[in-house]
Amino acid sequence: MARYITKRLLLLFPVVFGVATLVFFLIHMIPGDPVEVMLGETAMPSAKDELRKALGLDKGLVEQYLIFLKNAAIGDLGRSLYTSRPVLSAVIERYPATLELTITALILSILISIPAGIISAVKKNSLIDRLAMLSALFGVSIPNFWLGPLLIILFSVQLGLLPVAGRESIYHLMLPALTLGMGMAAILSRMTRASMLEVLNKEYITAARAKGLSNFAVIVKHG
């Protein structure tokens, strides 16, 4: 396990480097001048030149990239080209909401997937099993950017049960958490079902059933 975790952590560095590089060049490919966005098109040329120099935009693209990597290595992510705010402070400001949403999505996915996987394994090849696995297939196949608007239309626009936006109560978390959690729930339910089927075929499970134990007792004690 330690070797696996170490390997994954080592693989994280090239992934982060690749993503950072891709994002850097994609941002510079976006049409428009960030200096004009900040100051307006009617700003004095001298003011534009001064801001461009302050942001490092007067340098070549490769030089900007090397400076970006050097600063990122020491935790300085620079300033946003469009808000002029420090990027790190913007990330920290939004981190609590992101963490809140991630944890809620994870909890929902576990609450949905584990019972669904266990029931599917116990009721193998039944209607419940087929419906659960069909739902899991849809959960894996449907992208979040399509599922999110669909849930908004159904639960907010049509039924009026959940709010579309905001962060005032737990109800505001439900739709985004469901959107993020459904994919995880689909994968976990299939994994749980496969693991349970493997366990249910063990000899000690057969012996427990031969003693007259119910499926529920077998799962609770031995599953």
For residue 100, which of 52, 166, 196, 46 has the smallest C-alpha distance? 166
Question: CA 77: distance to chain centroid?
Answer: 22
pLDDT digits (tens, 9 = 90+) for 49-67: 787 787 777 788 888 888 8
The confidence score (pLDDT) of residue 218 equals 59
The class level of CATH for 91-222 reads mainly alpha
C-alpha distances out from residue 113 to 46, 64, 180, Å:
60, 46, 13
Model pTM?
A: 0.62
On whether the CB atoms of residues 132 and 190 are closer than 8 A, the answer is no
For residue 60, which of 48, 52, 51 has the smallest C-alpha distance? 52
Cα 177 to Cα 109: distance, rounded to the nearest angstrom: 9
Find tokens 């290595």 and name the residue: 73
- Give, rounded to a whole angstrom, the gap between the first and last alpha carbons of the chain: 23
Task: Please report, for the chain, the start and end positions of each structural domain, with discontinuous segments joined by +.
Answer: 2-85, 91-222
pLDDT digits (tens, 9 = 90+) for 123-149: 887 888 888 888 888 888 888 888 888
